[in-house]
Amino acid sequence: MRFDLLTIFPGYFASPLAEALVGKAIDDGLLDVRVVDLRPFSDDPHRKVDDEAFGGGPGMVLTAPPLFAAIEALRAEEGAPAPHVLYLSPRGRRLDAAFARELAAFPRLVLVCGRYEGVDERAREGGLFDGEVSLGDFVLPGGEVAALALLEAVSRFVPGVVGEAESVRLDSFEDGLLDHPHYTRPREFRGLPVPDVLLSGNHARIRRWRRERQFEETALHRPDLLSRFAPHTDEDRQLLARVARPARTP
């Protein structure tokens, strides 16, 4: 899968793209990630890509000409898959696991990293973007952090990027619930033991315990997820009924 990261700060990505799963996937040829500097697409002698907003007000705005030039050049690249162009923006669709899985089906994503007060609205009016994506209801100085988050979330669904495919299937949100707790060595640390069931060797009991804990953790930390959860087994229906039951008052 290919990603093109369009930015005015190309150096921002140097370390993250060389580390961990993404770095290994790039080395292995599973991901093709290209950082594209917006500035060379400017026709300004000083490669300027921003300007003051008409009507006044604080902050600068990324101008339309270099954005159009850069994205049109990426779309016209011969021999490359047609790109799906996404602008990282507060007005975009909220990124979640289901959306990340949808995006993983595209052979190529162009991620446009905004800065300052955003982009000239004519980039939207002119149909430059195929969609917009938001990480949540907060503001970042630019879209680079969001682009990295999206890249990592999407790349987990690219076959081979995560060594154990089962790990992705069992992640939080994959079936609508949070993940269960995990423990490793030592068996006891500062008076805190590993639950006996995990040391029992009884795989049926372990599976049941983990499923129960998924419901409990979700009810405690993300009850909103339970309101959308659709159980498919009798066991899940029983667990959902149990955690959704209001506590008795003394």
Question: 90 an active-site residue?
Answer: yes
3-state secondary structure of 10: helix
Of 57, 25, 49, nearest in space to 158 by CA:
25
Q: What angle do CA 243, 222, 230 make, to 5 degrees?
A: 60
Domains, in order of start, for the chain? 2-165 (3.40.1280.10), 172-244 (1.10.1270.20)
Determine which one of 32, 51, 132, 171 is catalytic.
Answer: 171
How much is the pTM?
0.88
3-state secondary structure of 167: helix
pLDDT tens for the 250 residues of the chain, in order: 999 999 999 999 999 999 999 999 999 999 999 999 999 999 999 999 999 999 999 999 999 999 999 999 999 999 999 999 999 999 999 999 999 999 999 999 999 999 999 999 999 999 999 999 999 999 999 999 999 999 999 999 999 999 776 666 656 577 889 988 999 999 999 999 999 999 999 999 999 999 999 999 999 999 999 988 999 999 999 999 999 876 555 4
**What is the residue type of 96?**
D
CA distance 175 to 157: 15
Residue 247 is predicted with a pLDDT of 53
CA distance 21 to 94: 24
Quick one: tokens of 36?
Answer: 């594209």
Q: What angle do CA 87, 106, 167 make, to 5 degrees?
A: 100
Question: 72 an active-site residue?
Answer: no
Residue 111 carries which DSSP code?
A: E
Determine which one of 32, 117, 130, 132 is catalytic.
Answer: 117
Residue 200 is predicted with a pLDDT of 97
Residue 170 is predicted with a pLDDT of 58
Residue partners of 97: CB distance under 8 A and separation at least 6? 153, 171, 172, 173, 174
Quick one: tokens of 102?
Answer: 């949808």
CB–CB of 231/240 below 8 Å?
Answer: yes
CA distance 3 to 151: 8
Determine which one of 108, 115, 156, 236 is catalytic.
Answer: 156
Residue 144 is predicted with a pLDDT of 98
84-94/108-113 β-pairing: parallel
Residue 171 is predicted with a pLDDT of 62
Determine which one of 90, 175, 208, 212 is catalytic.
Answer: 90
CA distance 120 to 118: 7
CA distance 93 to 3: 19
Of 27, 126, 34, nearest in space to 80 by CA:
34
CB–CB of 178/146 below 8 Å?
Answer: no
Residue 174 is predicted with a pLDDT of 76
Query: What's the per-residue H, E or C state across 41-53?
Result: HCCCCCCCCEEEC
Residue 70 is predicted with a pLDDT of 98
